[in-house]
Amino acid sequence: MTLSLYSDESYMREALKQARYALAEDEIPIGAVVVLERQIIARAYNQTEKLNDVTAHAEMLALTAAANFLGNKYLTDCTLYVTVEPCVMCAGASAWAQMRRVVYGAPEEKHGFRRHGNLLHRRTELVTGIMAAESAGLMQEFFARKRK
């Protein structure tokens, strides 16, 4: 299968790279990238342990980096790619940022925002299941290590 340089899968591969950084640092392996006009403007991974901050989720760090890059809190023309379904906090932040699109890989049954209805901005397009198996695999690997 050949991927376009600008496909959802290619951006999700970049988010997966970020998730692998988290895994290497013994963080929950979730990665995120923010894309504007086919350019990645922000990359992040979970750093809650490293920063001792419960809000240091990949999505939150990526949204902050993207807003700083643009000099604007609104990300209306941006797409957030994240390996796992965002939690309520991260979905809410993407709503406040007015993201154009949110794309995630694996669903998160326990803490995913969709359990609570649609928390995204009313104009945000939601795409799910992109590279879900790879994203779920990293989560399974992390929690298997923790159970040992």
Residues belonging to the binding site for Zn(2+) are 57, 87, 90
The sheet with strand 125-128 has its strands ordered as: 39-45, 31-36, 78-84, 101-106, 125-128
Beta strand pairing call for 31-36 and 78-84: antiparallel
At residue 108's C-alpha, the angle toward residues 94 and 28, to 5°, is 85
User: What residue has token string 């992109």?
Assistant: 130
Any idea which residues carry the catalytic annotation? 59
* Cβ(115)–Cβ(94) below 8 Å: no
Q: Which amino acid is at 24?
A: A
